[in-house]
Every structure is written in C-alpha cells, then in structure tokens.
C-alpha cells in the first residue's frame, strides 16, 4: 500500500499482471452453459411478471401483494390472468412512442459537457456527451408549462398508467431483440462484442457493451432518458393524482418526491461519473438493461408514489422530517463515497482524503489487445471503511423512500427488497469481475479492506 506522497513502486504494485495468456477473461461472461441459459430465461419471465403483478395487486387487491398471491393460488394461473388482464390503449401507446421520440430528440440536439468513460475490456476509451441534466430540465419545464397552461392534466401519466405499462413492456422486449440482432450483424465495436453461444443468455445479458448509432451511445440514452427522466415526472403525476382525489398532498408524498428528486438530479448533475460505473463499463446492452430501463425502473422505482396516491399514508410533520433526514443521510453517504472514488481516480491518487493523503494500491490488468494498464484502488476514506460503502448509502436511502409508505403492506417495499437483493448480487458479481481483472492483487486488496459493506458485520 502507498500514499499519494510516495512513489508508485510498492510491493503490491509490482505484482504480476492478471493474465499472461492472450485470452482476456474479465468483462461479461464469454461462454454460457445450460445453467446460464435457464437462469436468463427465468429472469426474462420473472421480472415482467413481478412488475405486472405489483400493478394488479395495487389496483385490484387493495394494495396487498399477499392478497393478490392468495387469489392467484385460489383461482389458478389461467383464471387469475383472465380476471386481471392489463389493457393496452391506443392513447397510451401513442403517448409512449411520442415520449420516447421526444427524449431521443433531446439526446441528439441538446448541448452538454463531454467526458471520457473507462477503459473497456477491448482496450477502448469512449467519449460521451452528458446532456442529461438539460434533458431533465427541458422535459420538466414542458410538463410544468403544459399543465399550468391547461394543455394536459398533470395527472395524465397516472391516469394512463396501465396502458403506459403495457407499452413500455412491449418496447423493452422489442428493443432487447433489436439490440441482439445489431450485436450479431452490425456491432459498433468488434473488440467489445461477446457472443456466448446461447441465444437466451445473449438476449438477457446483451451482446454489445457500447452499441452506438451515428456516434450516439444507446446505453447511456436508454439508462438515463426514457427511464430516469421519467422517474420524477411519474412521481409528480401521481402526486397530482393524489391532490385531485384527496384534496391535498400528504407529507409522505412530499418527502418521497423530494428524496427521489435529489437522487435523480444528482444522477444527471454527475452524469459523467455514471459513465464510469458498472452499468456503463461492464453490463452489455440486452434485455436486463433495455427492459430494465424502459419498464422495470419507471414501474418499480415509482411504486411508492403509486401506492400513496391510492392509499395515502399520513405522518406528522416530525415523523416526515425524520424520514426525510434519514433519506438525506443515505444520500450523503452515497454521494460522498462515489465522489471520493471518482476524484481519487481523476487525480491519480494525489489528494487528501479525510485530512490525510489517500492510501491506495496500484494494480495491473491486461486488455484484449494484449496491452498492460494500471488502476488505483483506494483503501482510505469510505473505501477503507468497506469495499462497497456507496451501496450502503443507497440502501439507507432506499429504506427511507419505502418507509414513507408505512409498514402495513409489503407491496411498496418492493424497491427496498429489490435494491437489497440486487446490490447483494452486484457486490458479488463486481468482486468476481475485479478478481478476474486484477487476479491475486484483488485478494491483497480484500485483505486490506476486509468488509464488503459494514465493518464487523458483513
Ligand atoms: P461502483 O461505482 O462501486 O463500481 C465498482 C467498480 O469500482 C469496480 O468494478 C472497480 O472497477 C472500481 N473499484 C472498486 N473498488 C475500488 C476502490 N477501492 N478504488 C477505486 N475503484 C474501485 O459500482 P456501481 O456501478 O454498481 O455503483 C455506482 C453507484 O450507483 C452506487 O452508489 C450504487 O449504489 C448506485 N446504483 C444505483 C442503482 C439504482 O438502481 N438505484 C443501480 C446501480 C447502481 P475498476 O477497477 O475496473 O475501475
């Protein structure tokens, strides 16, 4: 280990590169076995079922997932599905297409800062235009002006939600299929294309790492725009629905909107940081991201707002302030730990963290072109506290945004349950990837920072 003020040639820094053969194994799985295909198929079926079931439980079973599941058990699958069919509508489908096209236009025309992402397994360094904040502002201004001027009802999204959900779902499947075809026949970068030998696994996990059309990055667009820009808009629309049906907006709905808005604005304000996170640097663009961004995110991440609009939860001002404070605390941990690592990498370790020179390890790795590169792994500050302190902040925030719905029903807690499971899985997946990338050096790093999330607990 070394500090910013010493030289780079430490014992750990001199460890052998991870891979001495010409086959680079880090990055997305290169070959899928039957188990991978079955798992992918399971996820492709399970995830949409869960999202649609949530909506059915919310609107047909008094917001209770348990009552919905009990009905499913009683009636059997076919009868349950027949009784609870979701209805597509022409207006919602058209609206969804218009929304998608509007975001695509904003992505192409709006100015924004330029940044460079992280080196890919194929050895590429790609540039990005991060105009997400501008897209968010323009979109929300249009919504505000359009509603105030009476062009549309501010609860328009909430009132068409079922039709939008069906349209989003279909678009997710279609996009994943198109991305798979593009990956096979027209890849943007051969270096970072992976075909596993399983059509199902490729559909789920994606073939291309950074597919682009006319220089525009499809993954950055999909991850951010139709999903995350929509997030706060959907929340606002459900708040408007609550106002129209209840006569006022509850503290719980206000706290939820504040916390989500902080998180989303932070995301766009720091969009260049996002290009160096796992979504962009590691995950290929398949069903997981395409359907996830178009459907899962807008549906599941706004479930608390949907729930509060149908089943208002009343808190006192003090209780609401308590939940808000907890959520903001989670946000501060999330932001400061992510910023710490980002700044540390940008300054190549030459900075002070919590009042002392940063301590870190210098690790080597190889890319597909056979070149050797170096990365620094921070071992002080939040990153000395645990190996995924940024996830800790996210989990606290997730808890707070679900707590606004109270503890009567499990349904609005779906987001926290998802984040907990997802980040657990992600920690393990990321650590496997880092082990493949850095080899023995990663084990050494884990000895220096022994805990994943919380010292002495996990
Ligand atoms: P990270 O941003 O934590 O990225 C992990 C990568 O960081 C590793 O693969 C490694 O990449 C690098 N790294 C690991 N340890 C160190 C270290 N000590 N020093 C420097 N670099 C290190 O992961 P995510 O992309 O998953 O998360 C980013 C944030 O986004 C998190 O706060 C997470 O909670 C949040 N998030 C939120 C989601 C949501 O839906 N709300 C979804 C996903 C993430 P390498 O060395 O190869 O550069």
Q: Which two tokens stand for residue 180?
A: 């798979």
CB neighbour list of residue 272: distance below 8 Å, 6 or more residues apart: 113, 115, 128, 130
Q: Is the CB of 383 under 6 A from ligand 1?
A: yes
Atom of ligand 1 nearest to the CA of 395: 34
Per-residue model confidence as pLDDT tens for the chain (458 residues): 333 333 232 223 333 233 333 445 667 777 888 899 999 999 999 999 999 999 999 999 999 999 999 999 999 988 999 999 999 999 999 999 999 999 999 999 999 999 998 888 888 889 999 999 999 999 999 999 999 999 999 999 999 999 999 999 999 999 999 999 999 999 999 888 989 889 999 999 999 999 999 878 999 999 888 899 999 999 999 999 999 999 999 999 999 999 999 999 999 999 988 898 888 888 999 999 999 999 999 999 999 999 999 999 999 999 999 999 999 999 999 999 999 998 999 899 889 999 889 899 998 888 877 788 888 999 999 999 999 999 999 999 999 999 999 998 999 999 999 999 999 998 998 898 888 888 889 999 999 999 998 887 88
Mutational pocket test of ligand 1: of 12, 397, 401, 430, the residue with most ligand atoms within 8 Å of the beta carbon = 430
Our answer on whether the CB atom of 289 is closer than 6 Å to any ligand 1 atom is no
For the full predicted model, state whether its pTM sits above 0.85.
Answer: yes
Measured between alpha carbons, how far is residue 392 from residues 294, 454, 457 in Å? Answer: 26, 8, 13
Q: Is 342 in the pocket of ligand 1 (CB under 6 A)?
A: no
Note the pLDDT of residue 25.
67
What separation in Å is there between the alpha carbon of 278 and the centre of ligand 1? 6
Q: Is the CB of 263 under 6 A from ligand 1?
A: no
**Nearest in space to 442 (alpha carbons), one of 355, 353, 362:** 362
Per-residue pLDDT at 93: 97
**Residue 221 · residue 150 · CB < 8 Å:** no
Residue with the two structure tokens 């995950």: 283
212 lines ligand 1 (CB under 6 A): no
Residue 75 CA to residue 339 CA, distance in Å, equals 51
Cα(427) to centroid of ligand 1, in Å?
9
Residue of 434, 450, 452 to test ligand 1 pocket, by largest number of atoms within 8 Å of CB = 434
Which residues are CB-neighbours of 302 under 8 A, at least 6 positions away? 231, 234, 235, 238, 260
Nearest CA to ligand 1 atom 10: 434
143 contact partners, CB below 8 Å, separation of at least 6: 154, 233, 236
């Amino acid at each position: 280990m070394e500090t910013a003020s010493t030289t780079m040639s430490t014992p750990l820094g001199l460890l052998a590169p991870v891979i001495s053969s010409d086959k680079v194994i880090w990055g997305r799985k290169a070959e899928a076995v039957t188990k991978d295909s079955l798992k992918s198929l399971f996820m492709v079926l399970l995830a949409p079922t869960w999202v649609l079931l949530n909506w059915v439980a919310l609107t047909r079973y008094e917001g209770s997932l348990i009552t919905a599941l009990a009905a499913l058990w009683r009636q059997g699958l076919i009868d349950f599905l027949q009784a609870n069919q979701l209805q597509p509508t022409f207006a919602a489908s058209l609206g969804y297409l218009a929304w998608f096209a509007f975001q695509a236009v904003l992505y192409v025309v709006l100015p924004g800062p330029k940044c460079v992402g992280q080196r890919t397994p194929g050895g590429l360094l790609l540039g990005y235009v991060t105009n997400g904040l501008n897209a968010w502002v323009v979109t929300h201004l249009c919504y505000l002006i359009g509603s105030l001027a009476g062009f549309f009802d501010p609860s328009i999204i909430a009132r068409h939600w079922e039709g939008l959900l069906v349209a989003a779902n279909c678009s997710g499947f279609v996009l994943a299929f198109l991305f798979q075809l593009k990956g096979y026949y027209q890849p943007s970068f051969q270096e970072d294309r992976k075909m596993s030998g399983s059509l199902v696994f490729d559909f789920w996990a994606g073939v291309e790492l950074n597919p682009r059309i006319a220089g525009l990055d499809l993954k950055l667009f999909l991850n951010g725009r139709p999903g995350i820009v929509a997030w706060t808009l959907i929340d606002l629309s459900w708040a408007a629905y609550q106002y129209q049906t209840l006569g006022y907006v509850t503290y719980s709905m206000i706290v939820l909107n504040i916390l989500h808005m902080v998180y989303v604005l932070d995301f766009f304000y720091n969009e260049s940081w996002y290009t160096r996170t796992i979504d962009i640097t590691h995950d290929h663009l398949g069903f997981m991201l395409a359907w996830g961004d178009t459907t899962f995110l807008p549906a599941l991440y706004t479930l608390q707002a949907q729930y509060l609009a149908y089943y208002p939860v009343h808190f006192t001002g003090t209780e609401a302030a308590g939940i808000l404070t907890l959520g903001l605390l989670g946000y501060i941990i999330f932001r400061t730990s992510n910023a710490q690592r980002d700044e540390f990498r940008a300054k190549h370790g030459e900075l002070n963290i919590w009042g002392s020179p940063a301590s870190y390890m210098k690790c080597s790795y190889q890319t597909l072109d056979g070149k050797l590169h170096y990365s620094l792994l921070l071992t002080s500050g939040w990153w000395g506290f645990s190996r995924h302190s940024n996830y800790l902040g996210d989990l606290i925030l997730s808890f707070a945004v679900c707590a606004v719905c109270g503890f009567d029903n499990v349904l609005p807690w779906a987001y926290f349950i998802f984040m907990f499971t997802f980040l657990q899985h992600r920690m393990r997946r990321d650590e496997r990837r880092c082990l493949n990338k850095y080899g023995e050096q990663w084990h050494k790093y884990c000895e220096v920072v022994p805990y994943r999330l919380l010292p002495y607990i996990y």
